[in-house]
Amino acid sequence: MNSNCFILAIESSCDDTAAAVINNGVILSNVVATQKIHEAYGGVVPELASRAHQQNIVPVVHQALRKANIDKKQLSAIAFTRGPGLMGSLLVGTSFSKSLAMGLGIPLIEVNHMQAHILAHFIKAEGQTAPNFPFLALTISGGHTQIVKVNNYFEMDVIGQTIDDAVGEAFDKSAKILGLPYPGGPLIDKHAQNGNPKAYPFTKPKVSPMDFSFSGLKTAVLYFVEKETKKDPDFVTKNINDICASLQYTIVSYLMDKLKNAVKTTGITTIAIGGGVSANSGIRKVLKEAEAKFGWKTHIPNFEYCTDNAAMIAMVGELKYKNGMFAKNDVVASARMKF
Ligand code: KG4
Ligand code: ZN
C-alpha cells in the first residue's frame, strides 16, 4: 500500500453519525455528531435516528475531510459500516458511501461494526499499544456483550455472549429506573465514584460460564427501588451514589468472572476491551489491576475510540484495503451481520 493512501470511513449503525480519515494507521480526523433528540425518549428511536443521519451525514463527512486537510479526489477508498445495527440508520451510511465511491470511481469496503470495536486497538495513537494475536476481546456496548477469540485481523470466534440484554442496556435501563437521563451508563459511572460498592448487594445472574444475562439485574433494581421508596420516598435521591456504586460493582465483577472463565478455557491471557461500556472507570480499573494480580496483558482503547466512532471503521477499512478485500457494488446493509 502506498503511503499516500487515504481512506474515508462512515459509521451510522445506531445514533451517532460519524466520519473519519485514516492514513497509514494514523487517524487524521474523527468527527462524531451525537444525536441529542433521543434523550427526551429515554432510548434510541430508530426512525428519528435515521432522519437525523440524513441531516448529519453531509456536514459530518465534509468536516472530516476538512479536518484531515484533504480533498475527496485524493481518497483511495470509502469504508462504511454494513452492520450490525438499526436498519434505517445503516441504510443512510450504506447508500451514501456507495454513491460517493461510485461517483469518485474508487473502491468500497464493508465493515462489521463489532469487528471494528475490536480492531480499534490497532489505530496508531499515543496511549495505545496493539495487542498480540491471539487475544480475547470483551466487546461491551449498548447493543452487544461478547467475548471473542481473535486469531488474526479477520478470523474471530465468538466464544461467549449475552442471552438477553446487552451490558450497556443494563446500565441504561437501571439508570432510567433511578430517574437518570439517557444514556445513563456514564452517569451511573459518575455517581459510583463517590459511593460504597458494597452498600447494596445485587445478585449476579447465573448462566453458562462464558455467557451473560442482564435482564434479571434490571428487574432486581426495579424491585429494590420500589421496596425502598415505599419506606422512604426520597431513598433514591439520598442514596444515589451508593446504589450506582453497588450496581457498577456487580456488573464489573460479573464481566470479570466471565473473562476469568474465558482465560481458563482458552489459555489466552492477552485481553482487549472495546465498545461504549469500555469507557467505564470501574472496568478500566479492575483490568489494569488484573495485570499485576493474574499476569494478564490488558489493552484499553483511548476514550474516543471506545464509544461509536468512524476511526475504528477506518482502521478496518485500511486493513481490508491492504488485503484487497473490497465490497461488491450490490452490497446491502445488514442489521444482523455476523462476523
Ligand atoms: O458502543 P456504543 O457507543 O454504542 C453501541 O454500539 O451500543 O455504546 C453505548 C453504550 C451505552 O449503553 C452507554 O450507556 C454505555 O455505552 N456507556 C457507559 C459508559 N460510557 C458509555 N456505560 C457505563 N459507563 C460508562 N462510563
Ligand atoms: Zn458500538
State pLDDT tens for residues 119-133.
999 999 999 999 999
- State residue 158 phi and psi, 5-degree precision: -80, 115
Characterize the bridge pairing of strands 7-11 and 77-83. Answer: parallel
Cα–Cα distance, 253 to 31 (Å, whole number): 33
User: Which ligand has its closest atom nearest to the C-alpha of 143?
Assistant: 1
From the CA of 172, give the closest atom in ligand 1: 14
* The 77-83 sheet, strands edge to edge: 26-34, 16-23, 7-11, 77-83, 108-112
- The answer to whether 209 and 265 are in contact (CB under 8 A) is yes
Closest ligand 1 atom to the C-alpha of 142? 7
Would you place residue 43 in the very low, low, confident or very high pLDDT band (cuts 50, 70, 90)?
Answer: confident
| Choice between 142 and 191, residue whose per-residue pLDDT is larger | 191
Per-residue pLDDT, 2: 58
Confidence of residue 1 (pLDDT cuts 50, 70, 90): low
Q: Which helix (H) or strand (E) segment is 8 a member of?
A: strand 7-11
Give residue 38's pLDDT. 86
pLDDT of residue 128: 93
Residues with CB under 6 A from ligand 1: 14, 141-143, 168, 171-172, 183, 185-186, 189, 275-277, 279-280, 307-308
Relative to the CA of 169, which ligand 1 atom is closest? Answer: 12
pTM of the model: 0.94
pLDDT tens digits along 7-21: 999 999 998 999 999
